[in-house]
Amino acid sequence: MASLLILRHAHEAFGHLLPLEITDEQLLSGADAGSMENVGPSVSYIPGLNALSRLFMIWHSSQAVTTQSMDNLYDHIVQAQRLLEDLPPELTWQPPHREQFAFNVQKVNLKVTQLHIRSNLLEQMNALAKYQHMRATPDAIFNERHRVVEELLDVLYNMPEEVFDANGYSIVPKIRDIGGALLDELRTGPQDLNLQASINLDKLLAKLDSLDQRIMVQAANV
């Protein structure tokens, strides 16, 4: 049987392609998806999957422009921030994290992916500011980068490392990439931020070292 692959652009509507956010009980019982009435005590993992898909679409949308601009980059940073503000309670980032393990895995994946997107968009803003010889904007970019790193440290130090293991190898490169931007801040950022950036980098490297060791142990046991 022949199959057809349809490629879609970032600006195209895709909401109808996402799976319905229903529970396993609703799916197995044949409940009316339009009514979305709960037929069991469990909750669905699909909202987390859909939120992650929307994050990736925000990233692709941010790059789907002929000429990049500060307004476009900033608008997509705001979109990424707002997306995680409108999630079910079990996916909301609010320590301590005592929910089911699977939801904590989703929370880490969503949060680190969002931070990675914000960090990359900030780096593009920084490069554009330098290209356009802006003076005031880079300080605001460094401040926002500092907030991204603080939020990342919150994730790293408030979640058990087992949660990061469950996310596989994809999560560590994102963390390392954000750390690389922080290292750049130490070289080029405002002097009054350098001390805190240095402290944050030490914390980040300590966690990365621990996660890397866990990955090596897991690989050796395979």
Residue 199 lies in a domain: yes
Please give the span between the terminal C-alpha atoms of the chain, in angstroms, as a whole number.
37
Residue 73 lies in a domain: yes
Residue 165 lies in a domain: yes
Residue 53 lies in a domain: yes
Cα gap 148→55, rounded to integer Å: 16
Let me know the angle formed at the C-alpha of 162 by 156 and 168, rounded to the nearest 5 degrees. 90
Residue 80 lies in a domain: yes
Cα gap 185→181, rounded to integer Å: 6
Q: How many domains does the chain have?
A: 1
pTM listed for this prediction: 0.81
Residue 184 lies in a domain: yes
Instruction: Residue 201: give the domain boundaries.
Output: 42-220
Owner of token pair 């109808």: 16
CB distance 22 to 31 below 8 Å = yes
Residue 85 lies in a domain: yes
User: Looking at residue 186, what is its pLDDT?
Assistant: 75
Q: How many CB atoms lie within 10 A of CB 172?
A: 18
No. of H helices and E strands in the chain? 8, 0
Owner of token pair 């396993």: 24
Ordered DSSP codes for 84-132: TTSS-GGGS--SS--S-HHHHHHHHHHHHHHHHHHHHHHHHHHHHHHHT
Residue 20 lies in a domain: no
Let me know the angle formed at the C-alpha of 6 by 5 and 9, rounded to the nearest 5 degrees. 145
Per-residue pLDDT of the chain (222 residues; tens, 9 = 90+): 444 444 455 455 555 566 566 565 655 565 554 554 544 446 788 899 999 999 999 999 999 999 999 999 999 999 999 999 989 888 988 776 666 889 999 999 999 999 999 999 999 998 999 888 876 677 788 889 889 999 999 999 999 888 998 887 789 999 999 998 888 777 765 566 578 888 899 999 999 999 888 776 665 565
